[in-house]
Structure 1
Amino acid sequence: MSFHYTVETSKTVDQAVTDLSESLQEEKFGVLWDFDLTSKLQEKGMDFNTPYRVLEVCNPKEAERVLSEDKLVGYFLPCKIVVFDDEGQTKIGMPKPTTLLGLTGDDQLNDIGTDIEKRLVSCIDNSK
């Protein structure tokens, strides 16, 4: 079983990010931060030219649910979704919330994680 969910799309990285952001809004997830990793690495003098964006996303209601159950879950928040170019192919992916929350050993958190994961997978699928 994989720790991540990743899909491919024929869209550009920028278009995939735009479409993903819209799909996330429909599920009440906001993009807290759109981190252009490529630009940051180049700013620091690195020769990294691959388009690579990291979106930190959050649904406040879901964040409250998991934090009310276990405050240490904050280590996994906000959820991250990456959009990047892999040899000319745009990929969209995330670490699975069920994998991360499964590390706690709390069945209640696993149930919440399953729901969140289904919704985020749907957002990713709808944006590819």
Structure 2
Amino acid sequence: MSLAISTSLSIPFTEAVARTRAALAEQGFGVLTEIDVQATMKAKLGEEMEDYLILGACNPPLAHRALGVQRMIGLLLPCNVVVRTDPASPSRTLVEAMNPDLMVQVTGEPDLEPVAREAAAKLRAAIEKLSQS
């Protein structure tokens, strides 16, 4: 099982972030948190790195269903989506979403399978939309 559902885009980082937010919204995900990893590493460690943003994406109906099965699943929510410049090819931007199937694997809770399947389908649709645009 893959850790991420991902794509590589030939667009600037800022445009990729905007398009990622829009694609997530079309699938019912809102962005609850945003972590600018590049700025944090610079401020806290004095380290330079490529553009790197973590978006905490949440689909409330899916989160509600998952929490109804296993309250501790909140430890794995929201679904992180990373938008980052590819260090091997700075003209490319990578978008990577956490694979929700990991929730089932990590917890061993089979009742999470339908929720994870639906979340994965929605995240795949968002990522595919980015690849097609």
Classify the TM-score, shorter chain: over 0.9
Q: How high is the TM-score relative to the length of structure 2? A: 0.89
Q: Deviations over 1:50-94 (max 9, x none)?
A: 100000010111111000110011110011000111221211102
After the TM superposition, which segments of 4 or more aligned residues of structure 1 sit over 4 Å from their partners? none
Question: Aligned partners of 2:26, 2:98: CA distance in 1, in Å?
Answer: 21
Q: Percent identity between the aligned chains?
A: 27
Q: Which moved more, 1:111-120 or 1:100-109?
A: 100-109
Unaligned runs of 5+ in 1: none
Q: Is the 8 A contact 2:103 2:112 kept in 1?
A: no
2:69 is equivalent to residue 69 of structure 1: yes
Partner of 1:51: 51
Q: CA deviation at 1:114?
A: 0.8
Q: Which moved more, 1:34-43 or 1:103-112?
A: 103-112
Partner of 2:4: 4
Question: Aligned partners of 1:65, 1:58: CA distance in 2, in Å?
Answer: 12
Question: Aligned partners of 2:108, 2:57: CA distance in 1, in Å?
Answer: 24
Q: Is the 8 A contact 1:73 1:101 kept in 2?
A: no
Q: Is the 8 A contact 1:52 1:84 kept in 2?
A: yes
Q: Secondary structure at the match of 1:44?
A: helix
Q: CA deviation at 1:113?
A: 0.0
Q: How high is the TM-score relative to the length of structure 1? A: 0.92
Partner of 1:95: 98
Q: Is the 8 A contact 1:52 1:82 kept in 2?
A: yes
